[in-house]
Structure 1
Amino acid sequence: MVPDVLPCYLVCDVSLSMSGHIDEVNAGVREFRGVVHADRRPAAQVRLCVVVFAESPTVVRPLLPALDRAAVIRPRLEPGSDFGSAFTLVRTTIESDVEDLKAQRIPVRRPVLFFVSDGRATDQAWPAALARLTATTSCPEMIAFGVGAVDQTALDRIGTSRVFLGRDGVRLGVALASSVARTALRPEHV
């Protein structure tokens, strides 16, 4: 029997306002991989995709087993944080990934989207792009992680499942690992 796959999407703001927090993000991804390595049983089912964005989004790591080495996230010297284009790219990426897994007859759990930002969007239309993402049949569980001087209202709109704040002493790797573990225990499929 083929084990269920849990697709996880780390969507990270790498704009100028986030430049002082990128080392923390990379440390969090390494910590998450360490947690996955420690428990190989669920590790086989967890796959990770990394999307970065500033003025435009890019997939820097396609959906691969979480045990595989992750790409190093680098800041961009761009002042914009276009949340809308990031949500649009993630929506099409999730839809494509879920279709590919289903075509391979691999059972797919509800995806997890872990959004890392200070919450300071520079585009005004991002709520509409977020609504389109959450209206899909493969709607991900939405978790936000705020770093720096956050816009709490924006992060609360994005993190409909949970919101973590770095200023509260929560480490990104721990928040990501606990969110994935919590989701892996539920029998939700898309």
Structure 2
Amino acid sequence: MDREVLPCYVACDVSFSMAAHIDEVNAGMREFRGVVHADRRRGTQIRLCVVVFAERPLVVHPLAPALDPVEVIRPRQESGSDFGSAFTLVRTVIERDVESLKAQRMRVRRPMLFFVSDGRATDPAWPAALERLSATTSCPEMIAFGLGAVDQSALGRIGRSRVFLGGDGVRLGIALASSVARTVLRPDHV
């Protein structure tokens, strides 16, 4: 029998402008993992991948069961926030991961991208990379989480499903957990 999985991608801005918020990101990732452990039955359905980016993106935690520990996210000594290269890498990783999961006879729900940033991109062409990600057959449900002095307009373009703002008192771990739960429980994502 095929198993059903939800590939979840967390893309986190680790540039200078986000340095003061990285502890909050790590606390949120721990809180999310705690929620996943509390509901192990659903937790086994969730696969998690973590991508960090500043001037360049990097996969720091390849797609694995969300019950597995995640590396601590660290800030980079880079001033740029290249959203375009992050979206390009995420698109490539999602396409590869979805094919791999299907080859393992798993039923794959629509992937989810949880994008964490202040929304202050340094590459003006990032909307084109976002559109290319949106045009793929594995287009993820996109949720944005803003920390610090956010550019709400940019985050609104990215978070096509939802936008959460830490400044409104929303905790990252709860926002991520509620987004995943909403997706896992919705039958239209099968």
Please state which band the TM-score falls in when normalised by the shorter chain.
Answer: over 0.9
Q: List aligned pairs for 1:126-141, cutoff 5 A.
A: 126-141=126-141
Letter in 1 for 2:143: I
CA contact (8 A) 2:24 2:172 kept: yes
Partner SS for 1:113: strand
Partner SS for 1:107: strand
Distance 2:98 2:78 in 1: 31
- Deviations 1:151-170 (CA, angstroms, capped at 9, x unpaired): 00000000000000000000
CA contact (8 A) 2:47 2:64 kept: yes
| Alignment match, 1:17 | 17
Large movers: runs of 4+ above 4 Å: none
1:68 aligns with 2:82: no
Partner SS for 2:3: coil
CA contact (8 A) 2:3 2:105 kept: no
Distance 1:185 1:68 in 2: 21
Identity of aligned pairs, percent? 79
Letter in 2 for 1:150: V
| Alignment match, 1:100 | 100
| Alignment match, 1:90 | 90
Distance 1:171 1:3 in 2: 31
> Which runs of 5 or more structure 2 residues have no equivalent in the other structure?
none
Letter in 1 for 2:104: Q
| Alignment match, 2:117 | 117
Distance 2:147 2:165 in 1: 6
Distance 1:104 1:40 in 2: 21
Deviation at 1:3, TM superposition (A): 2.3
Calculate the aligned-residue CA RMSD, in Å: 0.6
Distance 2:136 2:79 in 1: 30
Distance 1:87 1:162 in 2: 17
Relative to the length of structure 2, the TM-score reads 0.98
Relative to the length of structure 1, the TM-score reads 0.98
> Which runs of 5 or more structure 1 residues have no equivalent in the other structure?
none
Letter in 1 for 2:106: I
Letter in 2 for 1:12: C
